[in-house]
Amino acid sequence: MIADRISSLADQVIAGIPLDREQAEWLVSHADDACLLDLFRGATRVREHFLGRRVRCCSIVASKVGRCSEDCAFCSQSAHHQTHVAGLTVLTSQQVIEAAREASANGADSFGIVNSGLGPTDAEVEQWGAVVEQIRRQTPVRVCASLGVLSEAQARRLAEFGVQRYNHNLQTSRRHFPRIISTHSYDDRLATLRHVQSAGISVCSGALFGMGESWADRLDLAFELRDLNPDVVPLNFLIAIEGTPLAETEPLQTMECLKIVSLYRFLLPGKEIRIAGGRETHLRDLQSWIFLAGADSFLIGNYLTTCGRAADADRQMVRDLGLELVEPPVPRRVAQQA
Ligand code: SF4
């Protein structure tokens, strides 16, 4: 029976034996609508085995928005597309520090500074590095950065400033990537992630689904991520934005999004799987099902250029499910000031 096979694959993952490609493909083709609840049950067992009932949440701020040289087909900030994002907006250091305080007050254990653009100049690394130092002094949140493609020296410099985690999504499979982005390569992204790892910074790298990719592409990316071994894997679902080349793309169905989450839990069992952009739009009333499907982490507050729902409602959702929201540890400097 299909339910029994799904359950035995969950047992295998729990026993520490990773699924191979053939088993992953079997799950994709057999866990159809009639068996999705069996898939979710298996994913929940895997999540609880590796991560218990803990849930983490993070928050981001778009510190530099727009006028990007890159042509990412999904992105409203690309100068190649005519979208609602006009011109360049850069927040002040104080505005970003304020956003970090607010994220911390909302229960986020991590806070990410996100810039548009291919990658930072050395001057920007110094500028945002100084902001990171201030946030670490003034709040207990883990400080993350997402500044694009980095050189080895820039990654080392960010580590010196105290950046604890770096986000740089692979977005899709190597095969599908050139249909989405032509101004930089998959290997540019992988090189950045390796520089970040060598600098001793925790890696956050994941995907954007719903860009016309196949299930084979989704599995390719999951296996690529397994090799890369990031700490956090954010999963985003495309919100098609007017003026971008993907504006007319059919949205993913809710159950397909949840099936993706479960597949990623089976394939990346001990990782923090974070549901990020597109949660409200694609999952609607079923947002709490992300945990049933195997996620253990989610983004709260606003996204880069779209708004999320109130953080209170998200915290309540976690409590209602009987899950435990992980609060950031209070660092000594903050505790002493309290
Ligand atoms: S995703 Fe980043 S690099 Fe790509 S167009 Fe948007 S801001 Fe630029």
Digit-coded pLDDT (tens) for 242-252: 999 999 999 99
Of 71, 72, 82, 89, the one to substitute when testing ligand 1's pocket (max ligand atoms within 8 A of C-beta) is: 72
Return the amino acid letter for 65: V
**Three-state SS at 265:** helix
Residue 32 binned pLDDT confidence (cut-offs 50, 70, 90): confident
CATH no. for residue 268? Answer: 3.20.20.70
**Residue 205 in this model has a pLDDT that exceeds 50:** yes
Cα of 148 from ligand 1 centre, angstroms? 8
Report how many domains make up the chain. 1
Q: What is the pLDDT at residue 168?
A: 98
What is the crossing angle of helices 36-51 and 254-267, to 10°? Answer: 40
Report the chain's mean pLDDT, rounded to a whole number: 93
Which residue owns the Cα nearest ligand 1 atom 7? 116
Q: How far apart are CA 322 and CA 276, in angstroms?
A: 21
Q: What is the pLDDT at residue 170?
A: 98
Cα of 269 from ligand 1 centre, angstroms? 29
Domain that holds residue 227: 2-337
Q: How far apart are CA 60 and CA 300, in angstroms?
A: 8
Q: What is the pLDDT at residue 180?
A: 98
Cα of 291 from ligand 1 centre, angstroms? 29
Q: How far apart are CA 71 and CA 15, in angstroms?
A: 43
Q: What is the pLDDT at residue 334?
A: 41
Of 64, 71, 75, the one to substitute when testing ligand 1's pocket (max ligand atoms within 8 A of C-beta) is: 75
Rounded average pLDDT over 293-305: 82
Q: What is the pLDDT at residue 253?
A: 95
Count of alpha carbons within 13 Å of 160, Cβ hemisphere only? 9
Q: Got the DSSP string for 125-148?
A: HHHHHHHHHHHHHH--SEEEEE-S
Q: What is the pLDDT at residue 332?
A: 41
Could you report the per-residue pLDDT of 131-166, keeping only the tens digit for each?
A: 999 999 999 999 999 999 999 999 999 999 999 999
Could you report the per-residue pLDDT of 38-97, keeping only the tens digit for each?
A: 999 999 999 999 999 999 999 999 999 988 999 999 999 999 999 998 788 999 999 999
**Residue 14 in this model has a pLDDT that exceeds 80:** yes
Which residue reads 């100068």 in tokens?
79
Assign 3-state DSSP to the chain and report helix, strand, coil percentages, each to 5.
Answer: 45, 15, 40
Q: What is the pLDDT at residue 111?
A: 94
Higher pLDDT, 266 or 326: 266
Which residue owns the Cα nearest ligand 1 atom 2? 116
Percent of the chain past pLDDT 70, that is, above it, reads 94
Q: Which atom of ligand 1 is nearest to the CA of 66?
A: 7
Q: What is the pLDDT at residue 265?
A: 98
Q: What is the pLDDT at residue 302?
A: 66
Residue 303 binned pLDDT confidence (cut-offs 50, 70, 90): low
Q: What is the pLDDT at residue 243?
A: 95
**Residue 337 in this model has a pLDDT that exceeds 80:** no
pTM for the whole structure:
0.93
**Which residue ranges have their beta carbon within 6 Å of ligand 1?**
68, 70, 72, 75, 77-78, 116-118, 148
